[in-house]
Structure 1
Amino acid sequence: MRQLQPIHALFITTGLYHNTYAISKLLTFTALSSNGDLSYASLLFTQIPTPNSFVYNTLIRAYSNGPHPHLSLHYFNLMLKDDTVWPNNHTFPFVLVACANAGCRSSGLQIHNWVLKCGLGSSDSHVKTALIRFYLGSSVLEDARKVFDEIADVDVVQCTVLMTGYIQLGLAAEGLSVFQDMLMCEIEPDEFCVTTALTACADLGALVQGKWIHEYVKKREELVVDAFVGTALVDMYVKCGCIDTAVEVFERMPARSVCSWAAMIGGFAIHGQARKAVEYLERMQVEDGLKPDGVALLGVLAACTHAGLHKEGQFLLDNMEARYGVVPKHEHYSCMVDLLCKAGQLEKAFELIKRMPMKPLASVWGALLSGCRNHNNVDLAEVAVKEILLIEKGDRAEEDGAYVQLWNIYFAAGKCEDAVRIRKKIGDRGLKKKPGCSMIEVDGVVNEFVSGDVSHPHIAKIHATLELVSLYAIRKRAMGESGRSL
């Protein structure tokens, strides 16, 4: 910007600022460069006597993903009022992004009408992809799917966008279904699409389908060498409970990134292998010359939490910045508080919370509250609940959870009057327990079961099988008591 400003002055003194093409070059740098200045770009715009569509599109694009996406819509409206220009295929994708980021669903619907009015609804791939993104970003799945289904020549990018949207909205099964339909239509997935499909498998615990995708990856050299695909495979096997296979995939990766190491370290944490997590932290520096990031270090802290290694965890937290150049964030402190609480060191955990360089959020106080329940510390539990209620202010789920925990603590400590008081408060709030949910994969199909739900198509068969299991258990117990064997 220091170099650009005297050039801008030269434009003014020589009259070049009247030249739209010349001034648009300044505008592009100030609006889109990471070293630019978006507010300066807006001032430049006011100096252009006859802005063309490129100028409008540049500012619409610049503001669409920034902290003020509504300004993108402002420049789009100025464009519509300008009789000399007309929105084009470079305009609509970024305006739709701005609508999604600004939460302007009604404006997005109007933009869709403009797309149809300009004849781009069925011809431009980028515009169609942007429409799918907008509807997914606005959580309007039905309209996103409708736009997708109306595309005659669906490409891999549009499939990936739809899959990603489903996964982000907690509908991984539907996302995986899009991937399967895509393969049936002989659309070849790229590395981003395969990574997204593996993410869906990881979320669902769909091991059979994940293995099938792994076999597909092995047949395509460009996917085998891709670090993102390899990392997604590691993550999928870890979350499906196959830690040994995850290690095998990891060790065979031709190129590993910091994310790959973080996924493997996080996998060891999930499976309670703390020593392995620490070992891989050292290996990533020695073998690949990579410095761990905050995610990898959080994985090691989580591993220490599972294994109860509070001394090792405390040492890592205290030396993160000096050894690895990573300043501990809130999630690192939260993990350490959880570790200390599980080790029964509640006072130390409370002292750590008070020393945190940032304001403690609900996750930290929630970890302390859980520790108080496990170790029957009423005083600290009351402090934790008070802080959670002050922080959340309206987050019913967090507040309800805090009250339930406090009731359990009072009840276990024999404080009946306090327990009754909290119980009444819970009743007044109309608190209902969230139903439990479990998933199991059978013959490549992931079945989801929610407590109290009787809508499963094989519910009769399930109940009959459970009855048989129950009868078998009763018979076995009865025979065991009489000294006979089955």
Structure 2
Amino acid sequence: MRPYIPKPTFAFCHSLLASRLLPSAASPTAPLLSIQALLVTAGLLPRHPDLALLALNSLLHALSRRAARPAHPRLALRLLRLMLSPTTPPALPAPDHLSFPFALSAAAALDAAPSSSAAAGTGPGPQLHALLVRNALFPADHYVTTALLQLYSPRPDLARRVFDELPRREAIHYDLLIGSYARAGAPAEGLSVFRTMLDDDGVAPDAVVLTTAVAACAQAGALDLGAWVHRYVERAAPGLLADAFLGSALIGMYAKCGCLEEAVRVFDGMPERNAYVWATMVGALAVHGMAAEAVACLERMAREDGVRPDGVAVLGALSACAHAGVVEEGLRLLGEMRPRYGVVPGHEHYSCAVDMLCRVGRLEDAVGLVETMPMAPLASVWGSVLAGCRSHGNVELAEVAARELERLGGSADEGVYVQLSNIYLDANRKDDARRVRKLIGGRGIKKLPAYSALEVDGEVSSFVADDQAHPRRFEIWEVLRLLADQMAQKPNEEESVELICVLAGM
């Protein structure tokens, strides 16, 4: 029987390791203190190697995250190398199947660091992957395979290779791969994995993977598949509809796909609605410009479910006011946030209010609000001002906004200069427009094109502005021409119905 060590003694051992090792993380190149000596001092080596391994794994877990200090993940990998290296007695315990997932998390944290410059395949992650294969921990161990999928989640192609090698796939593996595709802007591929999960592999999805799949449907505009997932849950696992995250995902999916009535039906059918669910419903109403209903939700939350509005819910209501153009209601809401709801306005709330004012041409009021913000305005605020200046032809304020964006680092975005150039062109200041265009070419500034996606007859189609490669571009252009003609003619009700029939036939 293993000798008993009291919990306070073990806690002392862990704190001793942490207090002596964590300070050295400030300098990743500094020599590690003798871990063997610390473990011997703590009474764990050589008598209790299992407890020594538990202490080291706990320390690996703490070091694997970048929350406390950016250098900690690097120190975690150094600690793992020390556990793998042959040393003079008393030797450190060898890492087990729990040690490596923590090390993989550390490798993922290093890869995600802004200063990371390692090329694909050369960082610590692939090296650990090879070590795990050599030691038969991959693909045999569940914790290791899950950690590997998390490591490669920013690269769906690599995550798919790991996934394809798994002899036994579980719901979490599908969730990670579907999410990897969705975050990479390829939700259709993620949904294909979801179909395979149900149709070919016969794995029952849990609430987490269903939530990820529904979110991918919303991103891809795949209403039919999202509704099918909803019906699947109602038929196979109706209890999951009480899950706040799954319910919120369904509400958001229906709202983004234009089915607000279905979103409301899901919302009304949930037995328990927390602040997260209410904020999602407010956001759904905001997408459809229903400002009065969105603001009313802030009162309904407390009255119906005893939930106090948080910053996210109030932001959704402000966004609804911006979309609907009810500026005074939005400004009143901004002013009442703290006294009425106990929510301190954040930068995102001020940014939304500035955007609301700019949409209706109250540019001077928008700049006045910027000047009264209790925090420094970020690029989102001045970006709204610049866009408002383009819509309402204010050159002077546009130049101010462009200078502020450049000061904040926005000069790396071609969109700022394109906006300013177009404002100059609209004001017939062609020389200034040419000067700005030369800046774009001279600095090598690039802007990634935005794209839209929607589902047509079960097939997800994406397109960008002025798309010359879309296979149905001629049909798209014809629909746009019809819409432009109808808007120019201000058609009566009968003509509007005829246009809708034409579009539906396509």
The yes-or-no answer on 1:179 pairing with 2:183 is no
What does residue range 225-304 of structure 1 map to in structure 2 within 5 Å? 225-304=242-321
Q: In structure 2, how many angstroms separate the alpha carbons of the residues matched to 1:344 and 1:453?
A: 31
Q: In structure 1, how many angstroms separate the alpha carbons of the residues matched to 2:466 and 2:367?
A: 39
Instruction: Evaluate the alpha carbon distance shift between residue 75 and residue 20 of structure 1 in structure 2; reply closer, same or farther with a 3 A threshold.
Output: farther
* Partner residue in 1 for 2:54: 54
* Partner residue in 1 for 2:208: 192
- The answer (yes or no) to whether the contact 1:121–1:127 under 8 Å persists in 2 is yes
* Partner residue in 2 for 1:417: 431
Q: In structure 2, how many angstroms separate the alpha carbons of the residues matched to 1:471 and 1:328?
A: 43
Q: In structure 2, how many angstroms separate the alpha carbons of the residues matched to 1:472 and 1:163?
A: 38
Distance apart, 1:442 and its partner CA: 2.6
* Partner residue in 1 for 2:177: 162
Q: Which amino acid aligns with 1:214?
A: H
Q: In structure 1, how many angstroms separate the alpha carbons of the residues matched to 2:479 and 2:373?
A: 52
Q: In structure 1, how many angstroms separate the alpha carbons of the residues matched to 2:34 and 2:344?
A: 39
Distance apart, 1:20 and its partner CA: 10
Q: Supply the RMSD in Å over aligned alpha carbons.
A: 3.2
Instruction: Evaluate the alpha carbon distance shift between residue 315 and residue 425 of structure 1 in structure 2; reply closer, same or farther with a 3 A threshold.
Output: same
Q: TM-score, normalised by structure 2?
A: 0.80
Q: Deviations over 1:414-436 (max 9, x none)?
A: 33332232233234345677556
Which deviates more from structure 2 when the two are superposed, residues 183-192 or residues 55-64? 55-64
* Partner residue in 2 for 1:4: none
- The answer (yes or no) to whether the contact 1:435–1:452 under 8 Å persists in 2 is no
What does residue range 264-413 of structure 1 map to in structure 2 within 5 Å? 264-392=281-409, 396-397=412-413, 400-413=414-427
- The answer (yes or no) to whether the contact 2:76–2:103 under 8 Å persists in 1 is yes
Partner of 2:400, secondary structure, is helix
Q: In structure 2, how many angstroms separate the alpha carbons of the residues matched to 1:98 and 1:193?
A: 25
Q: In structure 1, how many angstroms separate the alpha carbons of the residues matched to 2:191 and 2:20?
A: 41
Stretches of structure 1 lacking an aligned partner (at least 5 in a row): 1-18, 474-486
Partner of 2:454, secondary structure, is strand
Partner of 1:48, secondary structure, is helix
Q: In structure 2, how many angstroms separate the alpha carbons of the residues matched to 1:336 and 1:211?
A: 34
Distance apart, 1:79 and its partner CA: 2.0
Instruction: Evaluate the alpha carbon distance shift between residue 467 and residue 377 of structure 1 in structure 2; reply closer, same or farther with a 3 A threshold.
Output: closer
Distance apart, 1:346 and its partner CA: 1.5
* Partner residue in 2 for 1:100: 108
* Partner residue in 1 for 2:489: none
Instruction: Evaluate the alpha carbon distance shift between residue 334 and residue 181 of structure 1 in structure 2; reply closer, same or farther with a 3 A threshold.
Output: same
- The answer (yes or no) to whether the contact 1:27–1:44 under 8 Å persists in 2 is no
* Partner residue in 2 for 1:484: none
- From 225, 229, 237, the counterpart of 1:209: 225
- The answer (yes or no) to whether the contact 1:31–1:62 under 8 Å persists in 2 is no
* Partner residue in 2 for 1:84: 92
- From 53, 72, 75, the counterpart of 1:71: 75
- The answer (yes or no) to whether the contact 2:16–2:38 under 8 Å persists in 1 is no
Corresponding residue pairs, total: 445
Distance apart, 1:263 and its partner CA: 0.8
Distance apart, 1:455 and its partner CA: 6.6
Instruction: Evaluate the alpha carbon distance shift between residue 403 and residue 453 of structure 1 in structure 2; reply closer, same or farther with a 3 A threshold.
Output: closer
Instruction: Evaluate the alpha carbon distance shift between residue 420 and residue 260 of structure 1 in structure 2; reply closer, same or farther with a 3 A threshold.
Output: same
Instruction: Evaluate the alpha carbon distance shift between residue 27 and residue 455 of structure 1 in structure 2; reply closer, same or farther with a 3 A threshold.
Output: farther
Instruction: Evaluate the alpha carbon distance shift between residue 327 and residue 452 of structure 1 in structure 2; reply closer, same or farther with a 3 A threshold.
Output: closer
Q: Deviations over 1:364-412 (max 9, x none)?
A: 100011111222222211111011111116x622xx1111111122222
- The answer (yes or no) to whether the contact 2:156–2:177 under 8 Å persists in 1 is no
- From 422, 442, 464, the counterpart of 2:456: 442
Instruction: Evaluate the alpha carbon distance shift between residue 28 and residue 279 of structure 1 in structure 2; reply closer, same or farther with a 3 A threshold.
Output: farther
Q: Which amino acid aligns with 2:330?
A: G
